[in-house]
Amino acid sequence: MPQPTLDFWFEFASTYSYPAAMRIGDEARLRGMSVRWRPFLLSPVFKANGWSTSPFNIYPAKGRYMRRDLQRVCGALDLPFAEPPGFPQNTLLPARVALVALAQGWGEDFCRAVYRAEFGDGRDIGERDTIADVLRTLGRDTEAVLTLAQSDDNKARLRAQTEEATALGIFGAPSFVTPSGELFWGNDRLEAALDWAKR
């Protein structure tokens, strides 16, 4: 019998996607489930809502709260939390690379390494050099991967995946979607989403 699967929709710029990405593998294994990692871009979703940037920038009280809450959430998980220069980060390149990496079977390690560089070490993941470093650490052929990531086909795949997210009703990250189409939003809904997908 195939394992029940949960779709994990994430955006590298999303702070709450960081603890979710670090937890989801273990939480799914505990339940005998598999996860499909689905990177997408939040900026088109924000634009559709009339926001020129993250709501955490537009509403300062929300931004202040989010930073403090993230410290607490990461502290409870023993995850380091550092802020990269500039929020939100430009995540076009890592999202494109993630699609290539996931298609080749090493994507989950890549995604976790990107989050670790960004929110663990506070590095700028919009920089090509940062992504190249991550790829080298994973033993990948940096130039070959980046060329594939920047191909027209791959760019179109990321656009299509972002459109699919919007069509599913996704408006933030992380989001989780069960095979029956049930949508859950937020790191704190991870367990509920896995349990729903399994039942």
User: Which residues of this chain interact with a copy of itself, rule CB under 8 A?
Assistant: 49, 59, 61-62, 64-65, 68-69, 72, 169-171, 182-186, 188-189, 192, 196
Residue 17 and residue 11 in contact, taking contact as beta carbons nearer than 8 Å: yes
User: Could you give the CA distance from residue 45 to residue 190 in angstroms, rounded to a whole number?
Assistant: 21
- From the CB of 171, what's the least distance to a copy of itself, in Å? 4
Residue closer to a copy of itself (CB basis): 106 or 171: 171
Which H or E element spans position 147? helix 142-149
> Nearest distance from residue 38's CB to a copy of itself, in Å?
17
Q: Apex CA 116: angle with CA 147 and CA 71, to 5°?
A: 145
- Min separation Cβ 27 and a copy of itself, Å: 16
Q: Which two tokens stand for residue 154?
A: 């791959």
Residue 12 three-state SS = coil
Residue 2 or 50 having the CB closest to a copy of itself: 50
Taking the complex as a whole, how short is the minimal distance between the CB of residue 81 and a copy of itself, in angstroms?
16
- Which CB sits closer to a copy of itself, 160 or 192? 192
Q: How far apart are CA 57 and CA 144, in angstroms?
A: 36
Instruction: Please check whether residue 197 is in contact with residue 6, taking contact to mean a CB–CB distance below 8 angstroms.
Output: yes
Measured CA to CA, the distance from residue 32 to residue 19 in angstroms comes to: 20
Residue with tokens 């959430």: 73
Minimum gap (Å) between residue 135 Cβ and a copy of itself: 34
Helix, strand, or coil (residue 73): helix
Closest to a copy of itself by CB, 69 or 143: 69
- Choose between 1 and 68: whose C-beta lies nearer to a copy of itself: 68
